[in-house]
């Protein structure tokens, strides 16, 4: 049950990250004449209708991709439960960020980043974000934007 809930929460998060804006023209949307290329019989060539057909260069795409909405919804209680499970499955280290003035060196002294690391702040702190934006493999999130995917992806988690 726990793994199913976590995987569902991750699936919903990743689905909601998709843009779904790809688009190509079908033969109906191509701006060309609908006139038949040449008569059906007597030419010795293959039968053709018009130049909009997918077989021709500049013709429409058969079954062209169209914009669509990939978003999914997860009930609030399920989302909260999944986040609780994800946080309980990880070891979270406390860190005091009151001294950070926006210098990367200061933040680097407080935390060690060897692999994917997540830093959870109480609220959006521009100085902490400025100090950590140049540290590779470090993700900084305020606690109100925390999600299951980021928690499970992180190898190490620090919380303010």
Task: With respect to residue 110, please indicate whether it lies within any of the assigned structural domains.
Answer: yes
Our count of domains for the chain comes to 1
Q: What is the pTM of this model?
A: 0.80
Task: With respect to residue 74, please indicate whether it lies within any of the assigned structural domains.
Answer: no
Q: Residue 97's domain spans which residues?
A: 84-159
pLDDT exceeds 90 at position 28: yes
DSSP string, 41-105: SSSSS-----TTSTTSTTPPPTT------------HHHHHHHHHHHHHTS-EEE---TT--S-HH
Task: With respect to residue 18, please indicate whether it lies within any of the assigned structural domains.
Answer: no
Task: With respect to residue 51, please indicate whether it lies within any of the assigned structural domains.
Answer: no
Task: With respect to residue 91, please indicate whether it lies within any of the assigned structural domains.
Answer: yes
pLDDT exceeds 80 at position 137: yes
Rg for the chain, CA atoms, rounded: 27
Task: With respect to residue 54, please indicate whether it lies within any of the assigned structural domains.
Answer: no
Q: Kindly report the length of the chain.
A: 160
| Tokens matching residue 56 | 């021709």
The 10s digit of each residue's pLDDT in 52-80 is: 999 999 999 999 999 999 999 999 999 99
How far is CA 18 from its chain centroid? 5
Task: With respect to residue 43, please indicate whether it lies within any of the assigned structural domains.
Answer: no
Task: With respect to residue 112, please indicate whether it lies within any of the assigned structural domains.
Answer: yes
């Amino acid at each position: 049950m726990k793994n199913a809930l976590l995987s569902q929460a991750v699936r919903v998060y990743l689905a909601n990250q998709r843009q779904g804006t790809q688009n190509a023209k079908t033969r109906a949307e191509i701006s060309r004449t609908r006139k038949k290329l040449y008569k059906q019989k007597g030419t010795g060539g293959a039968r053709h209708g018009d130049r909009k057909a997918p077989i021709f260069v500049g013709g429409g795409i058969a079954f062209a991709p169209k914009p669509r909405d990939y978003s999914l919804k997860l009930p609030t209680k399920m989302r909260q439960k999944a986040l609780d499970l994800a946080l309980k499955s990880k070891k979270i280290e406390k860190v005091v960020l009151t001294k950070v003035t926006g210098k990367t060196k200061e933040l680097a002294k407080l935390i060690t980043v060897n692999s994917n690391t997540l830093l959870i702040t109480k609220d959006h702190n521009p100085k902490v974000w400025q100090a950590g934006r140049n540290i590779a493999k470090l993700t900084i999130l305020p606690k109100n934007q925390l999600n299951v995917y980021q928690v499970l992806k992180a190898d190490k988690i620090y919380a303010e």
